Amino acid sequence: MSVGLVALFDDIAALAKAAAASIDDVASQAVKAGTKAAGVVIDDTAVTPRYLTDFSPARELPIIGRIALGSLKNKILVLLPAALALSFLLPQAITPLLMLGGAYLCYEGAEKVYELLFPHEAHAHEAGLETIAVDAKSFEDEKIASAIKTDFILSAEIMAITLATLPGAGIVNQAIILAVVGIGITAAVYGVVALIVKADDVGLALARLSPGSAAAAPLRVLGRAIVHAMPYLLAALSAIGTAAMIWVGGGIVLHGLAEYGLGWPAHALHDTGAAVARAASFAPALVAWLVEAAGAGLAGFAIGLLAIPLTGRVLSPLWRQAKSLGRQVVMRFRT
């Protein structure tokens, strides 16, 4: 009996070691995959604050919470199973779907630039796409829905990059790692966004400290500096977020074209970046990245400008007709 008990303990110890090794492997692969997607994560962090610029401070954290919840649902309930299914059943569909998502990012970013340059025309374009919000609740809901749609595209890119780093993993490990990366990145992105948008409240609290200690005076100075700096920081993040959507979307489309044999734009951009980097006297890797990002941004902006009339004159009317037809079918079934 004692020998059997010792053997049982040995088996339990072996299983525990195997489980620990598996957990370590999953953790290391999740960290590696998350690092690969760092560029898109930064873009996601820069994009989100621009959806919060028109709201009172009291609504900022609840709105961030709703967007974060939508982002988590995107990643775990939609993108994770879709990524696994496509990778095993229809891997050839992943690239065109990502290209469509990239084109949407280009459209969103170019539309913001178009709105800045031609506000009246942009307002007419928006009015043709959907109804204008008539109260604060519907305006907030529309902003959140728009943020979640943009997050969906960026999340799809994050999950695709993550999946691409796991070619040899089984489906269970892939699912676990995708879930870990999705939850971790969502928490990191929206935690940072919450800190950014509430920094002015922290600064205001510091600026109002009573002069009761030696540390109060410099803290009040720091608080006033934060309060004065935050509008400029948020404006800069809004501009960076718009630029990020355009260059990430353009890069996705160019990469997708290369997958289908039209690789000369991406290759020309890479060669140009390499040539400029060789001529640079400092930070050649950074210079090459800036050149390639600028080229992808120009391509993305062109794609976005083409998508604006296409969306307003073709896709939006077709979508409205499809929704009307769907409502008619539903009403017929109900009657």
The structure tokens listed for 93 are 């569909």
Residue 169 included in any domain: yes
Closest residue by Cα to residue 186 from 160, 163, 164, 159: 159
Query: Does 113 map to a domain?
Result: yes
Helix (H, G, I), strand (E, B) or coil at 260: coil
Dihedral (Cα; 44, 50, 53, 59), 10-degree rounding: -30
Residue 26 lies in a domain: no
CB contact at 8 A, 104 and 153: yes
Give how many domains the chain has, as a whole number. 1
Query: Is 15 a member of any domain?
Result: no
Whether 21 is in a domain gets the answer: no
Asked if residue 31 is part of any domain, the answer here is no
pLDDT in tens, 115-138: 888 766 656 656 555 555 555 677
Residue 16 belongs to a domain:
no
pLDDT tens digits for range 217-269: 888 888 889 888 888 887 787 788 788 888 888 988 998 899 888 889 989 98
Domain that holds residue 177: 37-334
The answer to whether residue 118 is domain-embedded is yes
> 167 by DSSP, 3-state: which?
coil
CB 31 within 8 A of CB 134: no
Nearest to 249 by CA among 208, 306, 295, 296: 296
pLDDT of 40 reads 61
**Residue 302 confidence class, pLDDT cut points 50, 70, 90:** very high
Task: Give the pTM.
Answer: 0.69
The residue with tokens 């890119």 is: 157
Q: What sign does the CA torsion over 312, 315, 317, 323 have?
A: negative
